[in-house]
Amino acid sequence: MHHFAYKGGVLHAEDVSLDALASEVGTPFYCYSTATLERHYRVFAEAFADADALVCYSIKANSNIAVLRTLGALGSGMDVVSEGELRRAQTAGVPSERIVFSGVGKTREEMAFALKAGIYAFNVESEPELSALSEVATGLGATARVAVRVNPDIDPKTHRKISTGKAEDKFGVPYTRARELYAEAAALRGIQPCGIHMHIGSQITDLKPFGDAFALLKDLAEQLADDGISMEFVNFGGGLGVPYRGTNDVPPHPDEYARVVFDAAKDLGCKLLFEPGRMIAANAGILVSRVLYVKQGADKTFTVVDAAMNDLIRPTLYEAYHDIWPVAETLRESERTATDVVGPVCETGDYLALDRQLPSFSQGDLVAIMTAGAYGAVQSSTYNTRLLVPEVLVKGSDYEVVRPRPDYDDLIGREKIPNWL
């Protein structure tokens, strides 16, 4: 469910007209709904209300500080994968004791920064990383609380580029070696093994891979207990999918996911951690764009809009589908024709939709690319020397530009011409 709907013939974000917003802010722009962010967080968190649980929103999905502040105010923790994301969480006011640090390539500088910040735990992904963390922590006179990220070699049945739990994926420690690494961690200075971590992928719509993976997680926890290494928490990661195709694409509800988790965790007596990102942010955001031209090619029609692959790379990077709605409701029920929705970037891969049955748009029409709140703005770039688009947060009838559109001085002025030129 989201809070984008037609009112008075115009698509609104909560109580704000997207037509009026486009006139004020200019297109293209991202728009986020506070009500949707809050609802999705609460639905997930309430699925675990009877457990000792910490939901750590995965910042990489949408790192806008206003979004983080919104979720942090609800009690959300944060899952970070860089010093920059940790700094964002701090700026948003999220307490360090609600922050976990993931990622396969943490630098020693990042480790030191996180240790000084006093984060809840590190998700360690390799033996060399564990050794480096021990050295950094010992040098600071600190203790790093760690969970080893375990790779169970389970196919999450998702896109290959967002699978993280198969043997060929770069993430985590092979399940068969995890017990050995925990024994090593327990003997290292500056290291306190206190949790287990597993994250098998993103946009998962089948609960069976979760069940299979969590069963292995439970077995490992029991083996470690036999080894005298008790677990304070188990981190189940994230990955629950979202409905990119509206009512025709409904993933499992968090309550169903919770039953799978509880089946594995019921006898462990551990705190439960989660790292959802897409599930909270995706349907809370849209990308609003304006039609520049409608171009008739030899074999197809191209609807050229002012948003491009540098603004939303998911369609060309992941072959991802995003619903496209007209902002004017009159177009919603009009006759549909096949078209490619493309942008101005000089790449054949610059598209938002291919061979899609859509209304016959005209120059100046506004369109909303739906379910764009996750992995949209965070993956945007300035390719073709295009300006980053603004981000707008709506709450009821209020709105704020929470990332302004830069100008060309901001973009080009950062570069220097060497003195020999």
> At what angle are helices 175-187 and 127-140 packed, to 10 degrees?
20
The span from the first CA to the last CA of the chain, in angstroms, equals 56
Residues 6+ apart with CB under 8 A from 114: 83, 86, 99, 101, 122
Give, in words, the CATH class of 34-281. Answer: alpha beta
**Residues belonging to the active site:** 346
* pLDDT tens-digit series, residues 76-130: 999 999 999 999 999 999 999 999 999 999 999 999 999 999 999 999 999 999 9
* pLDDT tens-digit series, residues 135-167: 999 999 999 999 999 987 776 556 565 555 556
pTM confidence score? 0.95
Residue spans of the domains in the chain: they are 4-31+282-412, 34-281
Topology (CATH) of 4-31+282-412:
Lyase, Ornithine Decarboxylase; Chain A, domain 1 (2.40.37)
Mean pLDDT for all residues in the chain: 93
* pLDDT tens-digit series, residues 160-215: 655 555 566 677 788 888 899 999 999 999 999 999 998 888 788 889 888 888 88
